Structures are given as C-alpha cells and as structure tokens.
C-alpha cells in the first residue's frame, strides 16, 4: 500500500487498518471513501462573540488598537514597513502602515502608534478608520503615495468544498439550516474532517457587489461607530471565509478571489460546487 493511499484515507477520517487495506486492494479506495462519506454528518462550530451593553472611551481605544494590529499583521505578510516617525526623516522611498484619521483635499492623514503623516494621494476608495499600507517618497514631511497596499484576500486562497447542501436563513427550517444569532456571525461547517468557514453579516444599509468586494479587499466589515459593542475586533475578516453571506433583501451572488459571496434573506447553497439553488 503506497503512502499516497494511506494519506488520502487519513485525510478522509478513515483509519488504515488491515481490513480496510484488504478491501481497497479488492474493490479500490473509492469503495471505502464513499461508505465513509455516507456516515459523515454536518456539525456547526460557532465563534463566541461577547458583546457589551456599553463601551467606555477606553474600550473604544482598545477596539481600534485591536483593529489596527489585526490588519497590520495581514499587511506585514505582503510588505515590509517602518514606523511613521522614522519615515518622516527618510531621504529614501519608504513603506508604512497606519490607520486613516481623516481625509484632506490632497489625500489623507495616516497615523500609527509613533505619529502621523499627511499622505498625498488621489485614491478615492479610502475612508476614515481604514488600515492600509503606503509606499512612496517623503518630501517636506509629506508622503507621496506611489502605491496603496490593502490586506485583501491572498492569491493563495483556495475554495473548499464539502458534499452537502445548506440553507442560510433567518428562521430555522431543518438540521441543515444555519441561522445567525450574532452580527457578525462566524461559524465553521464541519463534514467529517473537512470544514468550510462562513461569515454572515447584516449591514445597516443595502450593499451592492462592489461594496462587498471592497469589504473583502480591506479585510474588515467597517461598521458605523454605534454598531461597535465589543472590544475584540470581530469585524476583522480573518480567517478568510469560504462563504460570505450578506443579509439584505436584494438577492445576488458572486465570486471574489475564491470567496463565494451571496446576498439575500434566505439562500440555499450546494457546498460541493458552491452552486446557488433557487428556493
């Protein structure tokens, strides 16, 4: 029995006993894997989200610190950066990471724990509280952006698949129906040893496909301040979800860099091929 066969058995939750190996030699590996799939059942593992009744100024400070650190860690996988305080005195092109404090007529103010700097940029998708990277030269203590770097979905992300169909709904219908009980709502859908990660979010207003793509590009749900009810940043889109469900009345679906994005109040998905099934 070759190592590849043993590896495939273990990945599918099958213990390679002598009886199993004999059966494979006689009937082939698929006879064992199909039987194992029939026995597998779907289970859901939710991420606990601890909301507070009210947040103090200290809580908000900690929340934004967590947001900055969370997105910074994603950006550092794509770039090297120095502090803004160091960048101000550099004679060479620099790369920095910071949070946007405000827009200006010629760009925006970027801040990190060491200081702030005005960035000269014509990028119009940037909003206050965005965390991003900037590369470019510094002149008169202003950073002239040659490149804006977003955390985004990595090109290495691959869509996962499991052979079940689920319904995403606001009301429980059957055992394969998933009903979010927090906002945002994170869960892992397990089938045997395989899992798919789901992120569900109900925005304040209807959003279109391009808006959803912007959220994934920025790796953050970017809620209004009055919707922040916890210190830990559950709005950070990490890990990368396999399915991103936007709970709005408009129904549409799209793929963004391997992430299946669906919108609607009730959605049925075949997770084996990510096909959206009309209800």
In a shared domain, residues 10 and 142: no
Q: In this predicted structure, which of 35-44, 70-79, 140-149, 166-175 has the lowest mean pLDDT?
A: 35-44
Asked if residue 156 has pLDDT above 60, the reply is: yes
In a shared domain, residues 234 and 119: no
200: helix, strand or coil: strand
How far apart, in whole angstroms, are the C-alpha atoms of residue 180 and residue 194? Answer: 21
In a shared domain, residues 47 and 167: yes
Instruction: Give the CA distances from residue 73 to residues 28, 76, 78, 150, 216, in Å, rounded to whole numbers and listed in that order.
Output: 45, 5, 9, 12, 16
In a shared domain, residues 84 and 189: no
Residue 269 CB neighbours (<10 A): 23
Task: Tell me the β-bridge partners of 143.
Answer: 119, 138
In a shared domain, residues 165 and 270: yes
pLDDT value of position 13: 62
How far apart, in whole angstroms, are the C-alpha atoms of residue 150 and residue 218? Answer: 6
Instruction: Work out the average pLDDT over 38-53.
Output: 82
Mean pLDDT of the chain: 90
In a shared domain, residues 273 and 159: yes
In a shared domain, residues 49 and 186: yes
In a shared domain, residues 124 and 244: no
Instruction: Work out the average pLDDT over 27-54.
Output: 76
In a shared domain, residues 111 and 228: no
DSSP code at position 88:
T
105: helix, strand or coil: coil
Percent of the chain scored above 90 by pLDDT? 72
Q: How many domains does the chain have?
A: 3
222-270 residue pLDDT tens = 998 889 999 999 999 999 999 999 999 999 999 999 999 999 999 999 9
pTM: 0.83
230: helix, strand or coil: coil
How far apart, in whole angstroms, are the C-alpha atoms of residue 170 and residue 211? Answer: 22
Report residue 34: phi and psi, to 5°. -65, -40
pLDDT value of position 38: 47
The first and second tokens of residue 41, run together, are 């059942």
pLDDT value of position 29: 75
Q: Which of 89, 124, 149 is the last residue of a domain?
A: 149
Q: In this predicted structure, which of 100-109, 154-163, 193-202, 230-239 has the lowest mean pLDDT?
A: 154-163
Q: Which of 124, 149, 174 is the last residue of a domain?
A: 149
Between these two residues, 27 and 169, which has the higher pLDDT value?
169
Instruction: Work out the average pLDDT over 264-278.
Output: 93
Give the pLDDT band of residue 62 (cuts 50, 70, 90). Answer: very high
């Amino acid at each position: 029995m070759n190592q590849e066969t043993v590896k495939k058995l273990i990945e599918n939750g099958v213990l390679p006993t002598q009886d199993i190996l004999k059966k494979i030699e006689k009937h082939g590996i698929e006879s064992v894997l199909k039987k194992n799939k029939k026995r597998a059942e779907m289970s859901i593992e939710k991420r606990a989200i601890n909301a507070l009744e009210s947040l103090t100024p200290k809580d908000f400070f900690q929340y934004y610190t967590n947001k900055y650190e969370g997105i910074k860690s994603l950006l550092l996988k794509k770039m090297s950066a120095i502090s803004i305080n160091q960048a101000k005195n550099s004679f060479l092109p620099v790369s920095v990471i910071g949070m946007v404090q405000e827009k200006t007529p010629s760009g925006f103010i970027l801040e990190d724990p060491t200081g702030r700097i005005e960035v000269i940029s014509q990028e119009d998708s940037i909003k206050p509280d965005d965390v991003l990277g900037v590369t470019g030269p510094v002149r008169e203590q202003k950073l002239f952006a040659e490149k804006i770097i977003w955390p985004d979905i990595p090109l290495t992300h691959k869509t996962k698949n499991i052979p079940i169909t689920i319904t995403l709904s606001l009301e429980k219908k059957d055992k394969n129906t998933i009903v979010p009980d927090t906002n945002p709502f994170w869960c892992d859908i397990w089938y045997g040893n395989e899992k798919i990660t789901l992120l569900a979010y109900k925005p304040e207003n209807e959003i279109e496909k391009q808006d959803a793509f912007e959220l994934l590009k920025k790796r953050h749900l970017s809620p209004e301040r009055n919707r922040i009810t916890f210190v830990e940043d559950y709005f950070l889109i990490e890990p990368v979800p396999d399915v991103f469900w936007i709970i709005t009345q408009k129904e549409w679906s799209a793929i963004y860099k391997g992430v299946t994005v669906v919108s609607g109040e009730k959605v049925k998905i075949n997770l084996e091929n990510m096909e959206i099934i009309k209800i």
